[in-house]
Chains A and B, each alone.
Chain A
Amino acid sequence: MFLALRELKHSKTRYMLISLIMVLIAWLVLFVSGLAKGLSSDNASSIQNMNADYLVLDQNSDHRLSRSALTGDALEQVRLAMGADAAVNSSDRDASDTAMAEPLGVQMSAVTQAGSLKKIDATFFAVEADGMLAPKVTEGRMIGADAAEEVVADSSFKAEGLKLGDIIEDQTSGRQFTIVGFSEGQSFSHSPVLHVNFAAWETMQASGPRAMGGSGAVGEVSADGGTGEVSAAGEVSANEGVSAAADSSADGGATAAGEVSATGEVSAKEGLSAAADSSADGGATAAGGASTDGAVSAAGEVSATGEVNGAGEGGAGVVFNAIAFKGSGSTAAEVGAQVSGVDVISKAEALKGIPGYKEEQGSLLMMIAFLFIIAAFVLAVFFYVITIQKINQFGVLKAIGAKTGFLARSLLAQVLSLSVFSLAIGIALTYGVSAVLPDSMPFELNFSLVGGSALLFLVVAVAGSLLSLYRVAKVDAIEAIGRAA
């Protein structure tokens, strides 16, 4: 330290310049990290905050929540596998006893405030109102256990001008819900989550154009059928807010045909009756066309697999997307082994299955990794050049009795004090900028993220100085004596 600080003080400009570069890199690292974290929770906080460890999905879902479809049978099997003894009478089971595994319905959709035409993207989560997946209500109250017309909305709906008691209408099913509470940190694929109970979920499914899914599911399930065409039709249906039927044919032979109302919007307001006729390659066909007052009515069940269809028709229970449970890895393995036709994935894997999540996080992580590599190289080159310039000086120091350890400590002290100094400024700048960022920009910095990045930065800095340390160790005291002058 004797040499380190005196040299920093004496060669201020030189070391200020290198700290400036390091400040910028540290700043960028922290900023991008905060952005990655912010985007991550903006995208998927509902899954991150979910009070569960594992999710059971349909085996054919490619680990995507929205593609998965499960029935009450699967739920009971999961409970059995988990050793839940009360699984037999699941209707009046004691929550504390067997609430370890719970169904979860996920449906991406769009809603409007009653009386307004402005659509808001939203994702419906169907949960048991008194179960472990129920969101924490920060305002208002939780949805009733059987109330089919109530939702708890993510607080970001407030920014859309919605408040407690307002009525919203699901554009896919046409059902209307009253906002009875607000939750926080509940988003899915960048859209806010609306929590409903399974009573509501059933009515949504019954009146929706499809037994399962919704706008999102139209695309997804159809994709299983093998054509992109159908998927396009699904999107139209969602955007128009009309129950439109698609004319589609999958190469597997599945067809879904129906009448598309040419004046979709108008019809929707008046209450459109549409019919869908679809056939899947399993041979199962379901067509519906019942008209009810003032609401879109379209019933139909399309499914790529006869299995799911059968379950839906059999009335064994509603179809939902996943089963969430709490437990250890061994429980997860047990469930995976005992229940056929399902995949058991961790929450982290489920996150990757959220549309866009993996890609978003992947590119940001790549940037952060490169920033760290750049930091290491900048430091390595800078200190190496300086060390080379000072070889003769190190020779003199060794000649007068300085050991390599002393010189190495001195060099490390310089690297670390520069890094700490730069980090401190970088952190201050990051917090400063995050304070003036608009709320709409997802940015999240917490202590562990800053601490972790800072620590990694220091490690990288030390790694970058290793080359110089090696060079210092190699210096021979004899360099101090001018040879054959």
Chain B
Amino acid sequence: MSTMTKEQDVKFWARSDSNGDSKLLLDQVSKVYGDGDAEVKVLDRVSLEVKAGEFVAVVGPSGAGKSTFLSIAGALLSPTRGRVLIGGQDVSKLSGSELNDVRLAKIGFIFQSANLIPYLTIRDQLLLIGELAGKPKAESKKKADALLERLGLGHRLTRYPESLSGGERQRAAIARAWMNDPEIILADEPTASLDSERGRDVVQMLADEVKHRGKAAVMVTHDQRMLDLCDRVVYIEDGQLSEV
């Protein structure tokens, strides 16, 4: 064992971890925007581990790098340095198309707003995920209907996003995020466009789902009143991440 290289060590560790409970691991991640003189270091050797069943909130001032952090965790953005493991798989060195597959298979996104496709009915929003993953239609349909039912949208299946309230839209987005059975849900200010009561409902639902499925979630938020629904709160400022 003493001859084991660092690489092998990581692999061994990652494999053992994937059937364990680490859903997301960011290890010494740095992100630098721009190059040369205009370099901006947004994240500086940030590390975070999220375990199964955990719901983590990320807070911090505007422009601190919360969205950047979430994008890296969600395989939307490659880190400048450091490793990212999603469900035990190292995604730091993957190509654009491979990252696509990782997102499709392991990650559910909930964005600020306007994240539903305007010309798809609520049910079709979910069926699209099945379509992308090449799952059988009947199976997707059963799953979509069950999810929407759970999230209180059973009577809205054939409506378009434009005719739903903001809260209903975000719940539909949550349902869509769960559609592919992801390892982890990433939400970037999901309550920004909602009043606090609706916002709380939506976050509550997210928290319940995380517990119910034994998966993990990371949510960026501005709203202090949501923090009690989360298991952990991390704070980002000046490129550094700290537990609160």
Binding site for B on A (CB under 8 A): 2-3, 6-7, 9-11, 392-393, 396-403, 406, 477-478, 480-485
A residues in contact with B112, CB < 8 Å:
482, 485
User: What is the predominant secondary structure among interface residues of chain A facing chain B?
Assistant: helix
Give B223 Cβ to nearest chain A Cβ, in Å: 13
Contact: B131 with A2, CB < 8 Å? yes
- Of the candidates A392, A398, A403, A484, the one whose C-beta lies within 8 Å of that of B67 is A484
- Of the candidates B76, B119, B128, the one whose C-beta lies within 8 Å of that of A480 is B76
Interface residues as binary, B95-118 with A (CB distance below 8 Å gives 1, 0 otherwise): 001011101110001011011011
Contact: B62 with A484, CB < 8 Å? yes
Interface size on B, residues (CB 8 A): 37
Give B169 Cβ to nearest chain A Cβ, in Å: 13
A residues in contact with B180, CB < 8 Å:
401
CB of B52 within 8 Å of the partner chain? no
CB of B120 within 8 Å of the partner chain? yes
Given contacts A396-B111, A401-B180, A485-B62, contact A2 B128 (CB under 8 A): yes
B residues in contact with A398, CB < 8 Å:
100
Question: How far is B118's CA from A6's CA once the two chains are assembled, in angstroms?
Answer: 10
Contact: A401 with B104, CB < 8 Å? yes
Give B233 Cβ to nearest chain A Cβ, in Å: 19
CB of B54 within 8 Å of the partner chain? no
A residues in contact with B133, CB < 8 Å:
401
Question: How far is B99's CA from A348's CA once the two chains are assembled, in angstroms?
Answer: 58
Question: How far is B132's CA from A406's CA once the two chains are assembled, in angstroms?
Answer: 8
Contact: B76 with A3, CB < 8 Å? no
The count of A-to-B residue pairs whose CB atoms sit within 8 angstroms is 82
Contact: A482 with B71, CB < 8 Å? no
- Of the candidates B77, B101, B128, the one whose C-beta lies within 8 Å of that of A478 is B77
Given contacts A480-B76, A482-B188, contact A400 B70 (CB under 8 A): no
Contact: A396 with B132, CB < 8 Å? no
Contact: B103 with A482, CB < 8 Å? no
B residues in contact with A478, CB < 8 Å:
71, 76-77
Give A340 Cβ to nearest chain B Cβ, in Å: 69
- Of the candidates A7, A392, A399, A403, the one whose C-beta lies within 8 Å of that of B109 is A399
Give A300 Cβ to nearest chain B Cβ, in Å: 82
Contact: B67 with A399, CB < 8 Å? no
B residues in contact with A484, CB < 8 Å:
62-63, 67
Contact: A396 with B117, CB < 8 Å? yes
A residues in contact with B104, CB < 8 Å:
400-401
B residues in contact with A482, CB < 8 Å:
67, 111-112, 188-189
A residues in contact with B215, CB < 8 Å:
none
Give A178 Cβ to nearest chain B Cβ, in Å: 74
Of all chain B residues, which has the CB nearest A403? B100
A residues in contact with B83, CB < 8 Å:
none
Of all chain A residues, which has the CB nearest B189? A485
- Of the candidates A396, A401, A477, the one whose C-beta lies within 8 Å of that of B129 is A401
Within 8 A of A (CB), among B125-165: 127-129, 131-133, 160
Question: How far is B189's CA from A89's CA once the two chains are assembled, in angstroms?
Answer: 101
Contact: A6 with B124, CB < 8 Å? yes
Question: How far is B74's CA from A402's CA once the two chains are assembled, in angstroms?
Answer: 15
Question: How far is B105's CA from A406's CA once the two chains are assembled, in angstroms?
Answer: 16
A residues in contact with B101, CB < 8 Å:
401
Would you give 29 A-B contacts (Cβ < 8 Å), ordered by A?
Answer: A3-B119, A3-B128, A6-B120, A6-B124, A10-B118, A10-B120, A10-B160, A393-B117, A393-B118, A396-B115, A398-B100, A399-B74, A400-B132, A400-B176, A401-B104, A401-B105, A401-B133, A401-B180, A477-B99, A480-B111, A481-B76, A482-B67, A482-B111, A482-B189, A483-B67, A484-B67, A485-B62, A485-B67, A485-B112
B residues in contact with A481, CB < 8 Å:
67, 70-71, 76, 111, 188
A residues in contact with B131, CB < 8 Å:
2
Question: How far is B103's CA from A38's CA once the two chains are assembled, in angstroms?
Answer: 59
B residues in contact with A399, CB < 8 Å:
74, 76, 103, 109, 111
A residues in contact with B32, CB < 8 Å:
none
CB of B94 within 8 Å of the partner chain? no
- Of the candidates A6, A7, A401, the one whose C-beta lies within 8 Å of that of B103 is A401
Given contacts A481-B111, A481-B188, contact A401 B100 (CB under 8 A): yes
Of all chain B residues, which has the CB nearest A10? B119
Max chain B CB contacts within 10 Å: which of A401, A480, A483, A485?
A401
Interface residues as binary, B23-44 with A (CB distance below 8 Å gives 1, 0 otherwise): 0000000000000000000000
Question: How far is B107's CA from A398's CA once the two chains are assembled, in angstroms?
Answer: 12
Contact: A397 with B117, CB < 8 Å? yes
Max chain A CB contacts within 10 Å: which of B76, B101, B120, B129?
B76
Question: How far is B125's CA from A467's CA once the two chains are assembled, in angstroms?
Answer: 27
A residues in contact with B10, CB < 8 Å:
none
B residues in contact with A406, CB < 8 Å:
132
B residues in contact with A2, CB < 8 Å:
127-128, 131
Question: How far is B91's CA from A187's CA once the two chains are assembled, in angstroms?
Answer: 75
